[in-house]
Amino acid sequence: MASSDIYVAKQSFATELDGVPIIVNRGATRVRAGHPLLKGREDLFELITVQYDIEKATAAPGERRAAPAPEAAAPVEATATERVEVKTEPEAKAEVKIEAAAKEDKSK
């Protein structure tokens, strides 16, 4: 029994562990090797094989990853109401000066 082994219940049953009631469900309850719930109840559990998918984090030099790069989404054109006028910084500063001058003229 390796410490990384995992066991699944072959049948449902109820028991106590350290004075705490435990409900074990067939096919759903899993415990690791060496767990106190297994002690004396080994015949109620069976060893399961866990297969983990492993993927390389990076490709080796000169090697390409298997998955293709995702395709970029097509640009969406804005409607007339969504269009925003973009001004350069000098244009924006000039506009602020013009607005300030207009306010000054109105106050006179």
Asked if 46 contacts 8 with a C-beta cutoff of 8 angstroms, the reply is yes
Q: Could you please report the per-residue DSSP string of 24-49? A: E-TTT-EEETT-TTTTT-GGGEEEE-
Give this prediction's pTM. Answer: 0.45
Query: How does pLDDT run across 61-107, given as a tens digit for each residue?
Result: 766 666 666 666 666 565 555 555 666 777 777 777 888 788 777 77
Instruction: Read off the pLDDT band of 5 (50, 70, 90).
Output: confident
pLDDT reported for residue 93: 77
Q: Assess if residue 14 is contained within a domain.
A: yes
Q: Assess if residue 24 is contained within a domain.
A: yes
pLDDT reported for residue 26: 94
Domain of 30 in residue numbering reads as 6-48
Q: Assess if residue 60 is contained within a domain.
A: no
Q: Assess if residue 90 is contained within a domain.
A: no
Q: Assess if residue 86 is contained within a domain.
A: no
pLDDT reported for residue 57: 65
